[in-house]
Amino acid sequence: MPQFETSQEWLTQSSLLLQARPTTTRITSKYNVLSPTSAKITKKRSKRPLKTNPESTTTTTTTATPPEAPLAAFILKTYDPVSGACLKYKTDKAAEVGRLVGCLGRLGRSMAALPEMGEDQTPDHKDDVEDRPEQKNTPASAVVSTPPQTQGSGGKKKKKGRK
């Protein structure tokens, strides 16, 4: 089960999977907050010092003391039960949530068999759109692609301005 480093990579692979199997593929996003007493966290905390200690004991005392392991995580999983393909992306940053849900929206569009409005149009996308009889034959790199992007970045800018 591949887990991607970047959300962009996850998005492109997921959209390809969705194009191949639009009816069976589902996207599950999991927002998980572990309780501080959770076994996962206590294990991680006990493991970490063991890994770092042999190298140098003096530095690890400063670095390993704040055991603020990522308590919360947002995990996106694209899964197609027919082919068994499963694509994962995991983050613990709040700043990414808005963009990731935007990604879910774009993938939702291809689930709904609506024309893509993404900015990264690969030739595959275009072929797919043109194959569909009902949809307009305008190339998928349509002008509509810009609004979500500007919205996202606009929001960030506003936040920066306030501070």
Partner 1 sequence: MASIHMSNEEFFTRLAELFDSRRNKGHGTVFLTQKRLTYAFDDETDFPPSAEKVSDDPLWDLHPPHPVPVLIRATDGASKEKRRDRKKDDKVKLSTIVQPDALDSFYVRYAEICKTGMSALKKRDRSKRKKVAKKKKAGGVDDGNKA
Sites of contact with partner 1 (CB under 8 A): 19, 21-36, 38, 66, 68, 70-74, 91-95, 97-98, 101-102, 104-105, 107-109, 111-114, 128, 131-134, 151
Alpha carbon 96 to its chain centroid, in Å, reads: 8
Tokens of 44: 């991680």
Q: Which is nearer to partner 1, 47 or 132 (CB)?
A: 132
Place of tokens 């808005």: 98
Q: How far is CA 67 from CA 31, 84, 131, in A?
A: 21, 36, 53
Q: What is the CA radius of gyration of the chain?
A: 21
Instruction: Report the alpha-carbon distance of residue 45 to residue 69 in Å, rounded.
Output: 8
Query: Which residue type does 121 have?
Result: Q
Question: From the CB of 47, what's the least distance to partner 1, in Å?
Answer: 20
Q: Which is nearer to partner 1, 109 or 141 (CB)?
A: 109
Q: Which is nearer to partner 1, 30 or 47 (CB)?
A: 30
Question: From the CB of 43, what's the least distance to partner 1, in Å?
Answer: 16
Going 47 to 52 to 58 to 59, the CA torsion angle's sign is: negative
Instruction: Report the alpha-carbon distance of residue 130 to residue 139 in Å, rounded.
Output: 8
Q: Which is nearer to partner 1, 2 or 67 (CB)?
A: 67
Question: From the CB of 163, what's the least distance to partner 1, in Å?
Answer: 8
Q: Which is nearer to partner 1, 54 or 95 (CB)?
A: 95
Question: From the CB of 93, what's the least distance to partner 1, in Å?
Answer: 5
Question: From the CB of 59, what's the least distance to partner 1, in Å?
Answer: 15
